[in-house]
Amino acid sequence: MTPSFEAPAEASDVVRVLAADGSYAPSPTAERYLPLIDALTDAELETFYRDMVVVRAFDRQATNLQRQGQLALWPPSLGQEAAQVGSVRAARTHDHVFPSYREHVVVTTRGVDPIDIIRLMRGLTHGGWNPADHQNTHLYTLVLGAQALHATGLGMGLVFDGRTGTGDPEKDEAVIVYYGDGASSQGDVHEAMVFAASYNTPQVFFLQNNHWAISVPVSTQSRVPLARRGEGYGIPSVRVDGNDVLASYAVSKLALDEARSGAGPRAIEALTYRMGAHTTSDDPTKYRTSDEEESWAERDPIARMRAFLQNRGASASFFDEVDAAAAAYADDVRVRTNALGDIPTEIMFDHVYGDAHPLVQEQQRWLAEYEASFEEGNA
Amino acid sequence: MTPSFEAPAEASDVVRVLAADGSYAPSPTAERYLPLIDALTDAELETFYRDMVVVRAFDRQATNLQRQGQLALWPPSLGQEAAQVGSVRAARTHDHVFPSYREHVVVTTRGVDPIDIIRLMRGLTHGGWNPADHQNTHLYTLVLGAQALHATGLGMGLVFDGRTGTGDPEKDEAVIVYYGDGASSQGDVHEAMVFAASYNTPQVFFLQNNHWAISVPVSTQSRVPLARRGEGYGIPSVRVDGNDVLASYAVSKLALDEARSGAGPRAIEALTYRMGAHTTSDDPTKYRTSDEEESWAERDPIARMRAFLQNRGASASFFDEVDAAAAAYADDVRVRTNALGDIPTEIMFDHVYGDAHPLVQEQQRWLAEYEASFEEGNA
Amino acid sequence: MSDIQTLPFAKALNAGLRAAMAADDHVLLMGEDIGPLGGVFRVTEGLHAEFGSQRVLDTPLAESGIVGTAIGLTMAGFRPVIEIQFDGFVFPAFDQITTQLAKLTNRHEGTANFPVVIRIPYGGHIGAVEHHQESPEAYFAHTPGLRVVSPSTPNDAYWMIQDAIASPDPVIFLEPKAKYWMKGEVDVAERALPLHASRVVRRGTDVTLVGHGAMVTTLLQAAALAEGEGTSCEVIDVRSLAPIDYEPILESVRRTGRMIYAQEAPGNVSVGSEVAATVMERAFYALEAPVLRVSGFDVPFPPAKLEGQFLPDADRILEAVDRVLAY
Amino acid sequence: MSDIQTLPFAKALNAGLRAAMAADDHVLLMGEDIGPLGGVFRVTEGLHAEFGSQRVLDTPLAESGIVGTAIGLTMAGFRPVIEIQFDGFVFPAFDQITTQLAKLTNRHEGTANFPVVIRIPYGGHIGAVEHHQESPEAYFAHTPGLRVVSPSTPNDAYWMIQDAIASPDPVIFLEPKAKYWMKGEVDVAERALPLHASRVVRRGTDVTLVGHGAMVTTLLQAAALAEGEGTSCEVIDVRSLAPIDYEPILESVRRTGRMIYAQEAPGNVSVGSEVAATVMERAFYALEAPVLRVSGFDVPFPPAKLEGQFLPDADRILEAVDRVLAY
Ligand SMILES: Cc1ncc(C[n+]2csc(CCOP(=O)(O)OP(=O)(O)O)c2C)c(N)n1
Ligand SMILES: Cc1ncc(C[n+]2csc(CCOP(=O)(O)OP(=O)(O)O)c2C)c(N)n1
Ligand SMILES: [Mg+2]
Ligand SMILES: [Mg+2]
């Protein structure tokens, strides 16, 4: 396999608004998206920045907590903040969001408590939150690509129930599903696109091409841009600079609004980079060069947005305030992580079925009695 | 779902050499293939015609045999003769062929005895022949799409062993895999294309779009031409009139030769029509109109080639001779089918494993003794 | 119209599906060729005409896609009922079934249900080609989070499909295709048994014969023949393979001391293995002989011309009856 | 270099793979991250550097694709050895494994073999997230056409991987990931046992404890503790789950009259069910008590913090020993 690093984020078809140095320099393909960006208020721009900084602090904290033995594992979102913030901020609160397992930025932005992700990675839960209580933000899915079909199925339901495509964006619901460059090889992602096209689902396929699937470069998954896949199903597809939060926002916004209007599914390939390890168990030095890592550090999504805001005249106190808020947020997570208790044994049996199930009940009873027998023994 | 019938075989991107009435009328896209067609000898042209006529007679015979209770099932190849003959005649004898389950034309052309297909459909075997003895023509695969991955894997092996891409077409091996419009929705076909592109396999994906997957129109599988799929993986793809044996031959020939040269995989969508029922258990009147059937009858691949040969001056005696040969071939199949005997019970145990297996051996022994006990009882 | 109707099994299923769809407009059917064609076994005949394309979906041809999108549909409030065309074609969906469908209720910690029913015509006796005659129940029964049932009569078909659809849990609904054309009385007014109950279908005192699906008929044939030879067999249809209702089985074995489990599936690591092991555990002292299993052999389902030798028939059951009585 | 080397389990596997690759240049490895990274458990470490990208393939990320192309590679004369990254990720490949790989030898009526080895790190004890701690052996053991084995020591790891690769048949090779770091002596000169033999690992007279994979260690712990309480346990490592070598088990049970099967997998319709049913069938009169099973519960593998409660430990085995002795 040839190495994947050839600065594809600078390719001419890639939608970009901010250059790596933060200057406003829209690519020709960005033209149609500029009105969406012009419409953003200062507050919204600052929110984008704040989201990214806060979640990066959280992500760093979680990585440390894992090193301290508090978590089984941590998959860092480091470097992918712009792709995630841009796309998720483009979704409406009534939209439906299907993350894969690295979308910490996405789910916390939708109101998921970061401690719930911590609980997942600590081995206290397989889920962590109730999607219905968090703007239809669904659970992490660890089997790569599986969630793409769930998203499509939900989209089909929206179509069948007339919950989309009525022409009223305040009501029309849409779906966005996240997956990676590696996951894009799975049959389920293909079948999700087949069904999405067939049922004209109001759905955005959001692929974060972070250039690596653990140690495998994206060139192993595809020799041509992954965005081309969508076209094969008749799904309009774009490539966007995923380290540019404004571009990520705008392409996602347009795609979601087109999808909700009844125009059918859309696909986005966001070119970004996993700046950290795959997970805390991983050692990237085994498979990639520091040259590559450095070149991507120069395109850091947060630095870019910071420079942009600075150029626009944001005050130093704003950045200080955000940094402080981020530190406090991360501290809070640390404190609450350290306070996490045990989970009761019974929960292993409690929700296997929605209805009573004799075998499970019997085993639950047996284990309770068995454990009680030790306590008696100890008493 | 919208009905699929809109004469797409006449679309401008479709490669065609013979018009439906048999006149030589190459489409603009056929231009680059014409030298391949010009190079065909009279004998070759006649072989194409003969292949189609003979196998149609066989297919009709098999359908009748099923009606007479001789077969469990028969999936007719009726109408798809040109796509199959054209593509398989483009393959070299050292190439590798992976049929799905309707490729009666393909496999018999490679030397498979038609009685072996009959045995499969009669319930006497799950296989029927040894691929190594029949120009690497692999067994039918009934799980839709599964064979696409086998073909890709074999192609990978050819690459790894330097059996392809050396520049010598007499030696360089290629692979062709057949599947349908319905099967194209399966994840396995997608993954086969992903691996094929990644390993640059010398492989042709030959999709026979016969417009139906049992009762489901192709519009349910895709809203855009299926050939576009290949492009999504960087696999050059063409649409061809699959009822035109010359066009089918030429596009397959070029694709196979490009693939064997080391240029990587190629995809072909052959537009054709399943003129008969899906299988003898099926009743097409439940889901399609006779108008549609009639319009395709006008594009019959055999009539088209016959008209072409007649226009070129083929003699009436040639056609008579072919018809007689076909009738004899079909008769021979009928005679041999009626003579087919039973199969021994043991074969159910014989080849489950390549090596001895105690559980299977024990059950085989048990059943032999059990059956013998009845014979004793009867004696 | 009387409450008692005589219907073939497939038509009873059809009536059960129609009743469930009429009662809840979020019940929908998904599968290959289930629309205008009515399914290759005509189980959904007429439902597309009655309920339309958004309630009876001829999907793209991809089983993982069907199950995966059905999961998504539950998230929009639907209750999808899937038809897998034949037993051997469920495996492309196996990942969605085992890692997703079976686990999602648990993953959601009780905040959501995933009421998907997967109908699978299964088993042999129809002389078909490879992949069309298999009995994959062991895979599903082993998987926590799934319920697995198999009706063997038209009345059960009618009621169990409705109960499966009403269940908050995923249900693998195995339809013994050999029985599709078998007629029987259906009481459309009153449900006889809950979804997961096993049922004594014949009383007897010497040997307990237990099984599921099409095998129940074979057990009844064997019991009739055994009676001629002076052996009284009790026959139990488990109806539900996960969970299994053991009470009627244990009650019977405590009386007879001898038991046989019959199934078409290969015997190794099968439902029959589980029932044998469990009955030994729970009725050890009652057993006069080991619980014997009569199963398909541990080989791929053979070419159709050998299915008569592969599938347990009444003679094979009787041979086991002789063996179990010889202890 | 001595013939006896002390190696961790993972390194013994690595050495076995290297030996097989050196002996036959058509042995190749396929999987996710097995190349420069050496696999997430480093089992293939160094092999990519030694044998190159056409012998050690970092494939696209698609398990069905991996198994399906491996089948094709056998048709070109290769012997592919697949690594599935974790137990829970084998299911996307389930169709290729069950309807293709397992059946192709039979479909070819003896004219071709399909020597694919599928290595799967399996089981718990590593505190990992969902899908990373499961024991899927029942699915494979139930499937005719597959062989299923699981080494529990470095020496077995070294030899069994070579024997699996040499087999003309598809082999599911289950690696108890809890044992990857366990050191043991490896005799690189002489194979101790054939691939499918079970092995008595501790002699005893009162109760026969049988199991596979990481559970063998637990059984030995339990046996040591039982000895302190005056109970003598025989411990048998079945090593091969399909087929199972019953002779050592039956020989033992005929002496002890009591037996327990231990496994991490959920117990319902499992390998333990099969062994219990078979031992009852073949050693009925020898049994003083029912064969008991100690298994994972019939629930999805729980969040890691509960794995200690889910997985059978020595205490749970001893509890069953008490029960079996109480008969
Ligand atoms: C079906 C499946 N196979 C294998 C894995 C193991 N695995 C976890 S993450 C990963 C790489 C994913 O790469 P990508 O999709 O690009 O996402 P990224 O990690 O880059 O965010 C692999 C192989 C899995 N989770 N699911
Ligand atoms: C995985 C799988 N699912 C379902 C089936 C049942 N089935 C057999 S043929 C068929 C339709 C196939 O359509 P297509 O691929 O277009 O091929 P054609 O029959 O038109 O040649 C179906 C659904 C199958 N064989 N395999
Ligand atoms: Mg990635
Ligand atoms: Mg078709």
Number of B/D CB contacts below 8 angstroms equals 144
C292-296 vs C259-266, strand pairing mode:
parallel
DSSP A84: H
For chain B, what percentages of helix, strand and coil (3-state, to nearest 5) are there? Answer: 50, 10, 40
Confidence at A376, pLDDT banded by 50, 70, 90: confident
In the chain, the amino acid numbered D88 is: G
For the segment(s) C199-325, the CATH number from 3.40.50.2000, 3.40.50.920, 2.102.10.10, 1.10.760.10 is 3.40.50.920
Q: What is the predicted pLDDT for the residue at D306?
A: 98
Nearest-angstrom CA–CA distance, C85 and C77: 25
Sheet holding A175-180, edge to edge: A96-98, A175-180, A203-209, A266-271, A237-241
Looking at domain D4-187, its CATH class is: alpha beta
Q: What is the predicted pLDDT for the residue at A11?
A: 85
pLDDT 10s per residue in chain C (327 long)? Answer: 579 999 999 999 999 999 999 999 999 999 999 999 999 999 999 999 999 999 999 999 999 999 999 999 999 999 999 999 999 999 999 999 999 999 999 999 999 999 999 999 999 999 999 999 999 999 999 999 999 999 999 999 999 999 999 999 999 999 999 999 999 999 999 998 999 999 999 999 999 999 999 999 999 999 999 999 999 999 999 999 999 999 999 999 999 999 999 999 999 999 999 999 999 999 999 999 999 999 999 999 999 999 999 999 999 999 999 999 999
SS3 of residue D127 by DSSP: coil
**Is D132 tagged catalytic?**
yes
Q: What is the predicted pLDDT for the residue at B1?
A: 36
Question: Do residues D183 and D130 make contact, with C-beta atoms less than 8 angstroms apart?
Answer: no
B212-213 vs B216-217, strand pairing mode:
antiparallel
ipTM comes to: 0.98
Please state, as a whole number, how many other Cβ atoms lie within 10 Å of the Cβ of residue A289.
12
Question: Which atom of ligand 2 is nearest to B184's Cα?
Answer: 15
3-state secondary structure A325-352: HHHHHHHHHHHHHHCCCCCCCCHHHHCC
- Cβ–Cβ contact B123 with A under 8 A: no
C240-242 vs C147-149, strand pairing mode:
antiparallel
Confidence at A10, pLDDT banded by 50, 70, 90: confident
Handedness of CA B229, C28, C36, B278 (dihedral sign): positive
Q: What is the predicted pLDDT for the residue at B7?
A: 56
Residues 6+ apart with CB under 8 A from C46: C14, C18, C38
Nearest CA in chain C to A187: C64
Of A222, A231, A233, the CB nearest to B197: A222
Asked whether the predicted pLDDT for residue B4 surpasses 60, the reply is no
DSSP C244: -
SS3 of residue C288 by DSSP: coil
CB contact under 8 A, D60 and A183: no
Q: What share of chain D has pLDDT > 70, as a percent?
A: 100
CB contact under 8 A, A154 and C76: yes
Residue identifier of the C-alpha nearest atom 17 of ligand 1 = A180
Separation in Å, CA of B214 to nearest CA in chain C: 7
Nearest-angstrom CA–CA distance, B46 and B317: 13
Which residue in C193, C196, C192 sits closest to C148, CA to CA?
C196
Handedness of CA A184, A189, A194, A200 (dihedral sign): negative
Question: Do residues D210 and D238 make contact, with C-beta atoms less than 8 angstroms apart?
Answer: yes
Which residue in B263, B214, B271 sits closest to B239, CA to CA?
B271
Q: Strands of C139-239 (E only): list them.
A: 147-149, 171-176, 183-187, 199-202, 207-211, 233-237
Query: For residue A42, which phi and psi values (nearest 5 degrees)?
Result: -55, -40
Structure tokens, A150: 């769930």
Confidence at B376, pLDDT banded by 50, 70, 90: confident
Question: Do residues D114 and D105 make contact, with C-beta atoms less than 8 angstroms apart?
Answer: yes
Nearest-angstrom CA–CA distance, D38 and D26: 20
Nearest-angstrom CA–CA distance, C96 and C75: 15
Confidence at A7, pLDDT banded by 50, 70, 90: low
> Ramachandran region of residue A79, left (φ > 0), alpha (ψ -120 to 50) or beta?
left
Asked whether the predicted pLDDT for residue B366 surpasses 50, the reply is yes
Which residue in A193, A177, A13 sits closest to B226, CA to CA?
A193
Condensed to tens digits (0 to 9), the pLDDT of residues B295-310 reads 999 999 999 999 999 9
CB contact under 8 A, B188 and D77: no
Q: What share of chain A has pLDDT > 90, as a percent?
A: 95
Q: What is the predicted pLDDT for the residue at B378?
A: 58
Q: What is the predicted pLDDT for the residue at B377?
A: 64
The enclosing H or E element of A155 equals helix A146-160
Q: What is the predicted pLDDT for the residue at B2?
A: 39
CB contact under 8 A, A229 and B234: no
Nearest-angstrom CA–CA distance, D38 and A287: 10
Handedness of CA A309, A310, A314, A319 (dihedral sign): positive
Question: Do residues A334 and A115 make contact, with C-beta atoms less than 8 angstroms apart?
Answer: no
Nearest-angstrom CA–CA distance, C102 and C242: 13
Task: Give alpha helix (H) positions in chain C.
Answer: 9-23, 47-51, 63-75, 94-95, 102-107, 137-141, 154-166, 215-228, 247-256, 271-282, 307-310, 314-325
Asked whether the predicted pLDDT for residue B3 surpasses 60, the reply is no
DSSP C285: G
Question: Do residues B154 and D75 make contact, with C-beta atoms less than 8 angstroms apart?
Answer: yes
Residues 6+ apart with CB under 8 A from D207: D226, D231, D232, D233, D234, D256, D258, D259, D260, D321, D324, D325
DSSP B365: H
Residue identifier of the C-alpha nearest atom 21 of ligand 1 = A180
Indicate where chain D has its CATH 3.40.50.970 domain(s).
4-187
Separation in Å, CA of B301 to nearest CA in chain C: 27
pLDDT 10s per residue in chain D (327 long)? Answer: 579 999 999 999 999 999 999 999 999 999 999 999 999 999 999 999 999 999 999 999 999 999 999 999 999 999 999 999 999 999 999 999 999 999 999 999 999 999 999 999 999 999 999 999 999 999 999 999 999 999 999 999 999 999 999 999 999 999 999 999 999 999 999 998 999 999 999 999 999 999 999 999 999 999 999 999 999 999 999 999 999 999 999 999 999 999 999 999 999 999 999 999 999 999 999 999 999 999 999 999 999 999 999 999 999 999 999 999 999
Q: What is the mean pLDDT of chain A?
A: 96
Question: Do residues A322 and A53 make contact, with C-beta atoms less than 8 angstroms apart?
Answer: yes
DSSP A20: T
Q: Is A281 close to ligand 1, i.e. is its CB under 6 Å away?
A: no
Indicate where chain C has its CATH 3.40.50.920 domain(s).
199-325
Q: What is the mean pLDDT of chain D?
A: 98
Centre of ligand 3 from the C-alpha of residue C295, in Å: 47
Q: Is B248 close to ligand 2, i.e. is its CB under 6 Å away?
A: no
* Mean local confidence (pLDDT), A97-113: 98
Nearest-angstrom CA–CA distance, D66 and D72: 10
Q: What is the predicted pLDDT for the residue at A378?
A: 58
Instruction: Give the orientation angle of helix D314-325 with respect to helix A358-378, to 10 degrees.
Output: 100
Separation in Å, CA of C51 to nearest CA in chain B: 15
Asked whether the predicted pLDDT for residue A66 surpasses 60, the reply is yes
Residue with the two structure tokens 């087929």: D243
Q: What is the predicted pLDDT for the residue at D25?
A: 98
Nearest-angstrom CA–CA distance, C310 and C313: 9
Question: Do residues B176 and B204 make contact, with C-beta atoms less than 8 angstroms apart?
Answer: yes
Question: Do residues A14 and A240 make contact, with C-beta atoms less than 8 angstroms apart?
Answer: yes
Buried b (16+ CB within 10 A) or exposed e, C195-221: bbebbbbbebebbbbbbbbbbbbbbbb
Of the residues B190, B198, B228, the best mutation for testing chain A's interface (the one with the most A CB atoms within 10 Å of its CB) is B190
Q: Is A99 close to ligand 1, i.e. is its CB under 6 Å away?
A: no
D79-83 vs D147-149, strand pairing mode:
unpaired
Tell me the HSE value of D160 on the side-chain side, using a 13 A CA sphere: 29
Question: Do residues A106 and A178 make contact, with C-beta atoms less than 8 angstroms apart?
Answer: yes
Q: Report CA C51 to chain centroid distance, whole Å.
A: 26
Of B125, B185, B215, the CB nearest to C37: B215
Buried b (16+ CB within 10 A) or exposed e, A187-204: bbbbbbbbbbbbbbbbbb
Q: What is the predicted pLDDT for the residue at B10?
A: 76
In the chain, the amino acid numbered A52 is: M
Nearest-angstrom CA–CA distance, C291 and B176: 52
